[in-house]
Structure 1
Amino acid sequence: MKRRFSPWPAAVAMMLGAAGTGFAQNNNPTPPAPPANAAPVAPAVNAAPAPAANPAPPAPPATDPGPPPPPPSRPFTPPPPMAPAPKPKPLIGPPGVAATVNGEKITTAQVSALALKVAGPSLVDQFINNMLLDQEAKKKNVTATPADIASRIAEARQQIAQQFPGRSLEDLLAQNHRSLAEFKDNIRYRVLAEKLAGGTVQTIPSLHVRHILILTQNPTGAPDAKPHTEAEAQTIIAKIQDALKAGQKFEDLAKQYSEDPSNKEKGGDLGIINAQTQFDPTFLAAALKLKKGEVTPTPVKSMYGLHLIKADSTSADPTPADKPLYDAAAKQAQQQQLAQQVPAYLQTLRAKAKIVNYLAQ
């Protein structure tokens, strides 16, 4: 259940084309350094914003496209005009010179030729995908509205605020040599692709969980971790179970006993999870069996130690406070399912189109 952070917030990564579907015009982002591995469990990819960090084992980065598409039957209106491209910076060195090494020149022509050879075919592929989407959207009167784009930008800002406090969307875009106009353009193509590709989306049950972790291992090598023997951990778990039977609150016991520093002070709160959440498989399987108010009857063993897990509520029986979180989680799960449909849809468009990519030959 090693803590893992994607170097980009999911919404930003998706809009920059990080999922490999080819919407970005620049295919070489340089992500910022991820936060330190401070907790034994990772944030849930599908969790709605909640007042707690989420657990998970190492796993491939999840994709997180954006809000669900409205029906593609509205009258066609032209896409919103994009902001003009930023003016190029004035040349610092001599014209046509990219660098010098001991007085010997490396020309911009050399750099351009290599860049065209290495990155040219894939960049042209991205432009091809975008043009196909524009053509198909025009045929079917599908648009990415200003509201669609504004919603995705708001989502990206929210994720950045949660994962990189003190940083802004503009900061991360500038770090990767992107403008806000380019980001909006990538959003527009992402929205068009989801609306055009949108198929059946399943509703995924979810629940709001807490846990108490007693360490028996230290796989991350955290200097302040003090693992117990299995027998010691079982004794502590039994003591916690007795306290629960006596009427003590789970969240109070989590604050007292849990050895997960990412959520100990928050009563072990892990937020909203579902079957798509990237948690330790054993932990996730045990959690998903719980009903509202239930605690796992026996401790659940992970690569970190022993857990007691409690379901505060479920999507089928939410508390008033959790209802907005479940709505957000359902929306995010729907977006993820739509994102999985986009690559196949693009392949279908390409198969029907007459395409000649001269750089790929």
Structure 2
Amino acid sequence: MRKNIYILISMLLLASLVLGGCGSNVVATVNGEKITARELDEQVNALKDTLTQQGLNFEGEQAKDIEQMLRRDVLNQMIDRELVMAEIKRLDLMPTDKEVREEIENLKKQLGSEGDFKKYLAANGVNEPKLEEYIKQQLAVTKLQEKISSEVPQPTDAEIQAYYDAHKEQFSQPEQRQVSHILIGAGDYSGGKNRSEMEAKVLALQVVDKLKAGADFAELAKQYSDDPGSKDNGGQYPPFSKNSGFAKEFEDAAFSLQEGQYTAEPVKTMFGYHIIRLDKVIPAKNYSLAEVKDNITASLHQEAVTKKIDELLQDLRDKAEIVNKLAEEPKTKKDGEQSTKK
């Protein structure tokens, strides 16, 4: 996976910022700076907690292998963090104490009160000195990002034109339809009414009769529709194109209507019966280079910045004295060579 400045920030965010750790077993050194097993364990455990909340199971036969993989990956991130922070210090990009305190004060204002700030610290398992250290590192990484970004030239007009010509499909929008509908649901889709399919069809036909008699579509949707996502909006959906995930019967009907027309014969889907009205046809559009130039410029510049950061990280690794005790194939450093390749 390509690393960029946002991954560097994430590495800092993962850090528990434990101050100390003396006496713990050393799992890696970076130019003589130690990374202890205690520090690694805390970051791995924090990551495991996050992954567990996202549904990953650390039980069973593969749990040990998964945890070993996490430990190796997290340790590699910690090594990269050490390299990046050392480079930031070499470039004299560390923020001042005043800048750090200003960020702390901004955070307090956002949270509302000193009490809310204390709750925030407790909820995240950090004290104020640790938070200050994290913010200091975050500001430092931001300064590095800004420095690299400023040094990378903006793409030329020729590069922008070439990208546009090669990716024109990205800058087109297919025809879209905006529809309103009234769903008379059946079974589980009848809003708790346990309506049979036949009852749903009969009611849908009655609603159509009301429309023919001049009733307002939006008001009927609010009164009868079993679609909670659209009924309060008069049954209207945001514009959509073909193959947008709607039921085929619904989509086919929407794209067969004329503007202002509704389906006099209710459309049956797995949800029940729909009365569909076509509110607007939005024609297909191809965006000109002038319309998308700013987006292309930003994208190409960010791609160049990402490449520059990749190169910086690789250069830092190549020049560093790294000992990684969790590496699968540890190597002894020879004269002029790095001790461990990651």
Give your verdict on TM over 0.5. no
Query: Which protein is bigger by CA-based radius of gyration?
Result: 2
Query: As a proportion of its length, which structure holds more helix?
Result: 2
TM-score (norm 2): 0.42
Higher RCO by CA contacts (8 Å cutoff, separation 6 or greater): 1
State TM-score, norm by structure 1. 0.40
